[in-house]
Structure 1
Amino acid sequence: MTTLAVILLALFSPVPHKHPTKSSTRPWLALSLYIQQPQVASSTMHPVAPKDAGALIFHRTLTEGPEITSPVVGKAQGFIIPIEQFAHSAFNIIYLTFDTHEYSGSLSVQAKNVAQKDKEELTVVGGTGSFAFARGVAVFAQTNRHTSNFDAIYHIKLHLKFPNRSQTIPG
């Protein structure tokens, strides 16, 4: 009799349903964004570091599109020392911070081996929030070649994978 009760309970008991989270259902994520100079009054713009300081320190905005009027989705901040002795330093990191309804968190992009080419492929070495433990590739390409590097707009394509979800990044 107890065996029959156990079998009936197993067959007719309600099963708890897990609602999969967005990050647990996707093995990889591809994003396309733009890094732009923030739009502020010229009287409040101050360079973060002198041009001859030997370090590039920047604060830019992340937007959905290349237009100045595109919605802002976050920030791009970094500290890069392009001097040969430090060019391969682990301190050369670009932080991409997101604050949208869909994504909240940050990504760390390692900026080793930056050669100031029109297109750079860098390594995503981690993330927080929606991007927790992300790994992958960040491809930076300058979109407006008629301006200085200070005013340049960069298109960034992110191909991210998450631990225990996939071993490949689609090409």
Structure 2
Amino acid sequence: MLVVFDDPMTKDQHLLSPPVARAQGFYFYDMKTTFNAWFAYTLVFNSSDYKGTLNIMGADMMMEKTRDLSVVGGTGDFFMARGIATFQTMTMEGAKYFRLKMDIKLYECY
């Protein structure tokens, strides 16, 4: 199953909080025996604080408490960004709805 998404990203876990970015991309389930997915998406920032994008991709082993995906690039304020996005599942209701907590650490590369 392939899922395409365009979801708001907020600083806290409340759906009605003002978005700081949008997550736009896709994921597909890639295992027959467990819930694992492969993600490729872009965080699009368009606020007074940040402008630009962060590109994130990698395998999401959903049954693990925390998972790391790679930050593979960016534009604008995040030009050529590299780092790690750590996921933690906050809420899951089947395969169609889940809420993730994401902690992003960017590294300085010269």
Report the TM-score, using the length of structure 2 for normalisation: 0.81
8 A Cα contact 1:114 1:120, kept in partner: yes
Look up the match of 1:56.
3
8 A Cα contact 1:65 1:71, kept in partner: no
Residue 149 (structure 1) shift: 4.2
Counting helix residues as a fraction of each chain, which structure ranks higher?
1
1:82 counterpart letter in structure 2: Y
8 A Cα contact 1:133 1:162, kept in partner: no
Identify the match of residue 94 of structure 2 among 145, 148, 169. Answer: 148
Please show how residues 31-42 of structure 1 align to structure 2 within 5 Å. none
Aligned length: 105
Q: CA RMSD in A?
A: 2.2
Report the TM-score, using the length of structure 1 for normalisation: 0.54
User: Rg bigger for which structure?
Assistant: 1
Q: Distance in 2 between matches of 1:71 and 1:150?
A: 23
Structure 2 unaligned regions, length at least 5: none
Structure 1 unaligned regions, length at least 5: 1-53, 165-171
Identify the match of residue 53 of structure 2 among 106, 110, 135. Answer: 106
Q: Distance in 2 between matches of 1:136 and 1:153?
A: 22
Residue 66 (structure 1) shift: 0.6
